[in-house]
């Protein structure tokens, strides 16, 4: 049975085109360091493709990691790095 399976895998066109990666496993994941003060570690995410409301169809979500304080910004699509930088510069409460 082992020979039959090996022959099937070797001769099968689908198996030959879709081989798994032959790389070493990355190992155990390491946790992120715990921040010691607030406002030192934030995360930013975007939600796009929402129904339009006052010409805004995207959300930018900014979360401060240690206090879990979140801010939500309604944005117009398309998003540009300049718009995002301006929002972050003019919001000193984060």
Q: Per-residue pLDDT tens for 3-25?
A: 888 888 788 877 777 766 677 77
Q: Given this model, what pLDDT does residue 24 score?
A: 77
The Cα 94–Cα 75 span in angstroms is 18
Q: Given this model, what pLDDT does residue 51 score?
A: 93
Architecture of domain 40-94: 2-Layer Sandwich (3.30)
Residues 6+ apart with CB under 8 A from 61: 44, 45, 46, 47, 70, 71, 72, 73
pLDDT band at 47 (very low <50, low <70, confident <90, very high): very high
Q: Given this model, what pLDDT does residue 34 score?
A: 80
């Amino acid at each position: 049975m082992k020979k039959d399976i090996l022959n099937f895998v070797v001769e099968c066109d689908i198996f030959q085109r879709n081989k798994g990666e032959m790389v070493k496993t990355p190992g155990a994941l390491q946790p992120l360091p715990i921040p010691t003060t607030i406002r030192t570690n934030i995360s930013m995410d975007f939600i796009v493709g929402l129904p339009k409301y006052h010409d805004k169809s995207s959300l930018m979500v900014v979360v401060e990691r240690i206090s879990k304080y979140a801010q939500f910004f309604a944005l117009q699509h398309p998003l540009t790095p300049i718009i995002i930088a301006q929002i972050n510069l003019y919001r000193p409460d984060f």
